Structure 1
Amino acid sequence: MSISYQRIVPNIWFSHTAEEAGRFYARALPGASSAVESRYPMSGLPDFQLGLAGEPLTVALDVEGTRFTLVNAGDEFRPTPAISFLLNVDPSAFAGAEQEAQDRLDAMWEMLADGGEVRIGLGERPFSSRYGWIEDRYGVNWQLMLTDPAGEPRPFVIPALTFGGAVQDRAAEASDFYVSLFAQSSGGAQVGIRHPYGVPTGPARSGALAFGEFRIGDQWFMAVDSGAERPFSFTEGVSLEVRCHGQAEIDRLWDALSAVPEAEQCGWLKDRYGVSWQIVPENMDELMSRPHAWERMMSMRKLVIADF
């Protein structure tokens, strides 16, 4: 499986079903493939992980060049709609233009809907001739949209962050923070298009983000303020893994992002908005191949390369 370098990798938590889910997405999404990437060690596991010895730990999922990591673990966490994944289907990429693109979108929708739950039905919207939102059988949320081919090009997969509850109306603030944090690395960062709410909408005030986007390196992200009361928030069920070039970059990002000390473990942290991140060295695979690496990692909060 060939995957180009990707600085920020969405990680999705599964309860003992990551390998099965990878096979499902390889069937449901165009140009997708999956493979078990790592396994739990046979020894050195803490008590709560003993039942996972030798089982898959991570499954690499490639969706048309976008890398996901499916984390195979227990039932501690579950994805929520606070982070979903927008799938842009661009009619200009198809010889048959919009009808062929719509057929592709509808086929994905049918597959993802099998055993899932429709959140917003598939249909015409002011911003797209065909759009819908679905939660699949594993609890992962997908937004499917026919893209306007006259607009600026965007990737097929865009992670979408929805700010509600305790962080309602902070989507623009968060976007600005992430852009400023990554602007000095990752090939640059920038704020993209923003469309505010013209009037108060549900819990969103006038001027909050009905739609916003930002770029880190070559990756685009969406950030919106919820226009309806939502019973969900950001959780470890979907985290953003940053592959760092060395300890100095790990230290800088960790210090800037971590805002919940009790959430710090094994390179995981929560930021001021509740979004979970994993700050890891880019040679993590090599570090984990060292003797007793698992035990050393489990004892760390921030990962320290020299301690592996």
Structure 2
Amino acid sequence: MSAISPCLWFDDDLLEAMEFYTSIFPDSRITGVARYSEAGPGEPGTVMAGEWVLDGRSFRGINGGPMHAGFTETVSFSVTCTDQSEVDYYWENLVAGGEESMCGWLKDRFGLSWQIVPARLYELLGDPDPARAEAAARAMLGMRKLVVAELEAAAATA
């Protein structure tokens, strides 16, 4: 059976990234590391490629050098959280050394974009009362890290 998994291009910090990500998510581990040999093209013994599992999902990565290294917001990973404590946990750990953005988005210290979203947001945005859904959306647009209580309060005032 075939499987699809993301492959991320790093300059030269793949192993550090794999260790960072697997330390944050449950059911995560590094499953393989390939190193350059004497045959090159990289420095013998340095990490060329790796595989890891995050929360049960397979990822691959390469240390491809600076030619194409660097991520943009055009690709991101979304983490749906069951409650505010999960939002806080993933936000605080992933943004460490990175930067906050708007509407639940952040960039981690490797420049990879993440969306940290409480499941409650989807419920509020899908509210059958359009005024409640719009109020929740407006509240979201004004936030960096999403706060469930504030989203609910905004919907309740509609």
* TM-score normalised by structure 2 residue count: 0.82
Work out whether residues 14 and 49 of structure 2, in 8 Å CA contact, stay in contact via their aligned partners in 1: no
Kindly tell me: are residues 199 and 298 of structure 1, through their superposed partners in 2, closer, same or farther at Cα, counting changes over 3 Å?
Answer: farther
Tell me whether 1:224 sits opposite 2:67 in the alignment.
no
Match in the other structure for 1:209: 47
Unaligned runs of 5+ in 1: 1-92, 94-154
Identity across aligned pairs (percent)?
A: 35
DSSP-derived class of the 1:162 partner: strand
Tell me whether 1:297 sits opposite 2:144 in the alignment.
no
CA distance in 2, matches of 1:200, 1:281: 48
Tell me whether 1:170 sits opposite 2:19 in the alignment.
no
Give the aligned residue type for 2:23: S
Tell me whether 1:192 sits opposite 2:31 in the alignment.
yes
Deviation at 1:264, TM superposition (A): 1.7
Give the aligned residue type for 2:50: G
DSSP-derived class of the 2:6 partner: strand
**Which stretch shifts more, 289-298 or 265-274?**
289-298
Match in the other structure for 1:4: none
Total equivalences in the alignment: 144
Match in the other structure for 1:307: 150
- In the TM superposition, what whole-angstrom CA distance separates every residue of 1:97-127 from its partner, at most 9, and x where no partner exists? xxxxxxxxxxxxxxxxxxxxxxxxxxxxxxx
CA distance in 1, matches of 2:39, 2:66: 13
Kindly tell me: are residues 249 and 222 of structure 1, through their superposed partners in 2, closer, same or farther at Cα, counting changes over 3 Å?
Answer: same
Work out whether residues 9 and 69 of structure 2, in 8 Å CA contact, stay in contact via their aligned partners in 1: no
Deviation at 1:205, TM superposition (A): 3.6
DSSP-derived class of the 2:8 partner: strand
The 5-angstrom pairing of residues 77-226 of structure 1 reads: 93=1, 156-164=3-11, 169-183=12-26, 188-199=27-38, 204-226=42-64
CA distance in 1, matches of 2:74, 2:150: 27
Deviation at 1:194, TM superposition (A): 1.3
CA distance in 2, matches of 1:200, 1:274: 31
CA distance in 2, matches of 1:237, 1:245: 25
Normalized per residue, which structure has more helix?
Answer: 2
Tell me whether 1:267 sits opposite 2:104 in the alignment.
yes
* TM-score normalised by structure 1 residue count: 0.44
Give the aligned residue type for 1:173: E
Work out whether residues 91 and 116 of structure 2, in 8 Å CA contact, stay in contact via their aligned partners in 1: yes
**Which stretch shifts more, 230-239 or 240-249?**
230-239
Two-structure CA RMSD over aligned residues (Å) = 2.0
Deviation at 1:231, TM superposition (A): 4.2
Higher relative contact order (CA 8 A, sep 6+): 2
CA distance in 2, matches of 1:253, 1:200: 40
Normalized per residue, which structure has more strand?
Answer: 1
Deviation at 1:284, TM superposition (A): 2.9
